[in-house]
Amino acid sequence: MSAPLPRWHPAEETLFQHAGGGLPLARRVMVESHLAFCAGCRAAIAELSRPGGHHLRSLAGAPPPPADLWQKIAARVAKEMAAPRSPLEDTPLPAAGRAELPPLRQPLEWSGLGDAPARLTRLVADEANGLELYLIENPPSSVFPYHRHLGSEELLVLQGSIEDPYGAYRAGDLQRYGRGSAHAPAIGPGETCWALTCIEGGVAFGP
C-alpha cells in the first residue's frame, strides 16, 4: 500500500521561484525534501520549468560543451562516492534535500531545549537572507515547547506526525506559519517524528 499523499504544500509562488533557481539554500532544501514525497508538486515544477527549457533548446548558436565535460563529471562522481559517508544518511532527510547541502563529514551537533525531549541540529545559517534551517527529532507522544514566531517559519514533517491549532501534519506535509503565530506542537504516537524547520527572524520560547 502506497503512502498517503501530502495535504500541505509549498505556495505556488515558492514552486515558481524554485523552478527558476531563485530560492535561497534553506528553502531549496525544504522544497526538494517535500518533492520527494509529493508527485503533484513534482509535476508542477516540471510544468513551470518547461517554458524555460523550450526557450533554451530554441537558442541557435549556443557553444558546445567542453570536450572533457563528461570526464570531469565522472571524476567528481567518483570522488563523492569515495568520500566518507554523510551522517545525514542516518536520518529521514531525503537524498534530494541532502544533495542541496554542502558535504557534511563530521558528526551532527545536537542541542536540547531545556527539559523538552526534542533535540535539534542546525543545517544552514544564512545571515544574508535571515534564515536558519534545523533538523529536529521528537520522541513519539511528546510535546515540543511552546514558542512564538518572530518572523515566518516553514515546517516539513519527514517522519511521524504533528498536530497543533493550525492543523495536523504527516510525512511530506509542509506548513507555513506567519509572524506572531504561536504553538506547542503535539507529536503523534507510534514513531519518532523528524521534521525540518526553516526559521526567518527567530522564535521566542515561553508564554
Single-letter code of the amino acid located at 203: V
Count of Cβ atoms closer than 10 Å to residue 105 Cβ: 9
Dist. CA 160–CA 167, nearest whole Å: 15
Q: What is residue 191's three-state secondary structure? A: coil
Secondary structure (H, E, C), 62-115: CCCCCCCHHHHHHHHHHHHHHCCCCHHHHCCCCHHHHHHCCCCCCCCCCEEECC
pLDDT at residue 202 above 80? yes
- Neighbouring-strand partners of residue 174: 156
What's the whole-number mean pLDDT along residues 65-72?
A: 70
Q: For residues 22 and 17, give the distance between their C-alpha atoms in angstroms, rounded to a whole number.
A: 5
Strands lying side by side in the sheet with 131-138: 111-113, 116-126, 131-138, 193-200, 153-159, 174-177
| Cell, residue 33 | 525534501
pTM of the model: 0.83
Residues 123-159: tens digit of each pLDDT: 999 999 999 999 999 999 999 999 999 999 999 999 9
The model's pLDDT over 32-63, given as tens digits with 9 standing for 90+, comes to 999 999 999 999 988 887 755 444 444 455 56
> Which of 28-37, 74-83, 166-175 is predicted least confidently?
74-83
CA 177 from chain centre, in angstroms, equals 15
DSSP string, 173-184: -EEEE-TT-EE-
Q: Which domains does the chain have, with CATH numbers?
A: 12-59+73-100 (1.10.10), 111-205 (2.60.120.10)
Question: In 10 A of CB 41, how many CB atoms?
Answer: 23
Mean pLDDT to the nearest integer, 160-176: 97
